[in-house]
Amino acid sequence: MRQREAVHCNLIGDQWVGGAPTPNVNPSDWADEIGLYAHADASQLGAAVAAARAAFETWSVSSPQTRFDVLDRAGTLILERRDTLGQLLAREEGKILAEATAEVVRAGMVLKFFAGEAVRMAGDRMDSVRQGVDVEVTREPVGVIAIITPWNFPIAIPAWKLGPALAFGNTVVFKPAELTPGCAHALVSILREAGLPTGVVNLVMGRGSVLGDALLDSPDIDGVSFTGSVPTGRRIAARCAQATKRVQCEMGGKNPMVVLDDADMNVAIAACINGAFFSTGQRCTASSRLIVTKGVHERFIKAMSERVASLKVGSALDPATEIGPVVDQKQFESNLDYLDLAHNEGAKIVGGQKVKQATEGWFLSPALLLDTTPSMRVNREEIFGPIASVIRVADYEEAVAVANDTEFGLSAGICTTSLRHARDFKRRARAGMVMVNLPTAGVDYHAPFGGRRASSFGPREQGSYAREFYTIVKTCYTG
């Protein structure tokens, strides 16, 4: 199997197949073209699904040791190549080098975790209510899984979907985000290098609007694991329901971080800066609503404003940079529109300026929106950029009410030194994940990940919970 040099190709069965060459451009430096990536067409997509279906026959009954070995080896290769993969990630997505490398490490650890899950897949045995009958509950792979991923975690999210899909014996057609094909291509290449058999993972690159429907509607696709925006996720979930396909959607957030009067201010500022602005705020778990009780509000906004102004915006590849560029022009303009909206809604804006650098890129300084109220659109819609608003509240009860006043429910945080408030918030926060004295973003690779309401649909991702999506239970009776 030879890979072409000039254009990074799609992987269909054992062939690297060309398509419409599309440039992948560095958001820190528009003059830097990372490479050309081939967009697949509908017939290539069909061939990829057919290859995955054919490979399912053998991969689904392969030894757990085989699956362990491939995933463990792939994890090792990723960890060994963390620096070059981190550079690639920073260059194509704009995450700063430290964050990009940490994401790569996470992808490696995820694959190693799921290597272990392959050999841990166990069923149940029950006593029957009937004499002389045995009841066994076994788990089987689902079949061919379509994996559709966003650009903001271009190696970790594919790894945490591919890992369990493969560990439990499924085969895959993987469509990464059009903006970040480089990490997807590298990940699939590493899986092949680690010994993944032909057809078990197929990579089709291109736009979701072009490839999506054909992928979702294929009768040979048994399940769809999607991460991305709410509108796309709802559309995918509806389409899968119509075709009775298994579906899992991880979507957006409007995550609250509550800061109480009794909070340790250093802890609170660190959690809010990290949660709101790291990764340029382009995280589904970003703390976009900072809900602060009145006793500490003035001190909080003064300290936050100073810290926000000191954050160094620049090229993702410069080790001194703290905030990298926004991912592309569309996202950049959307952020500017939200800043205009915030101004028109009466917010006071700290930061939020276009930043000039030595290279041309999508540089925007982080913005803190002050004097905002819960009903403003900037407090209701996911912005997905380096923009966070502050909402002043009277007390803890109002803070909880405002925190829960959202259609989303992914992550929710609280900074407090009160055990009573921390315990109460963990119970009452309407979110899939709750953080106490920690940023709303940043989770472990072995713990379940996901949200509620508009943020998530279907079973949880990651950790041992991932098997609920990637396996099907079978109950067998023997008399």
Q: Which stretches of the chain bind ligand NAP, using CB under 6 A?
A: 148-153, 175, 177-178, 207-209, 212, 227-229, 232, 235-236, 250-253, 284, 382, 384, 410, 455
In the bound state with ligand NAP, the residue whose beta carbon lies nearer, of 50 and 410, is: 410
**CB of 382: closest distance to ligand NAP in angstroms?**
5
**CB of 478: closest distance to ligand NAP in angstroms?**
41
**CB of 339: closest distance to ligand NAP in angstroms?**
18
In the bound state with ligand NAP, the residue whose beta carbon lies nearer, of 113 and 153, is: 153
Strands of 471-478's sheet in order across: 124-127, 134-141, 471-478
In the bound state with ligand NAP, the residue whose beta carbon lies nearer, of 91 and 175, is: 175
Nearest to 65 by CA among 207, 167, 213: 167
In the bound state with ligand NAP, the residue whose beta carbon lies nearer, of 49 and 370, is: 49
CA atoms within 13 A on the CB side of 132: 1
CA atoms within 13 A on the CB side of 411: 25
Q: Coil, strand or helix: which one is 474?
A: strand
**CB of 73: closest distance to ligand NAP in angstroms?**
27
With left for phi above 0 and alpha for psi between -120 and 50, is residue 424 left, alpha or beta? alpha
**CB of 173: closest distance to ligand NAP in angstroms?**
12
The letter for the amino acid at 366 is: P
Q: How far is CA 151 from the centre of its chain?
A: 8
With left for phi above 0 and alpha for psi between -120 and 50, is residue 205 left, alpha or beta? beta
Nearest to 282 by CA among 253, 311, 308: 253
Question: Is residue 391 within 8 Å of residue 301, measured between CB atoms?
Answer: no
With left for phi above 0 and alpha for psi between -120 and 50, is residue 340 left, alpha or beta? alpha
Catalytic residues: 250, 284
* The token pair that represents 116 in the structure block: 């272990």
**CB of 176: closest distance to ligand NAP in angstroms?**
6
**Given the DSSP bridges, would you call strands 471-478 and 134-141 parallel, antiparallel or unpaired?**
antiparallel
Strands (E), 251-301: 255-259, 287-293
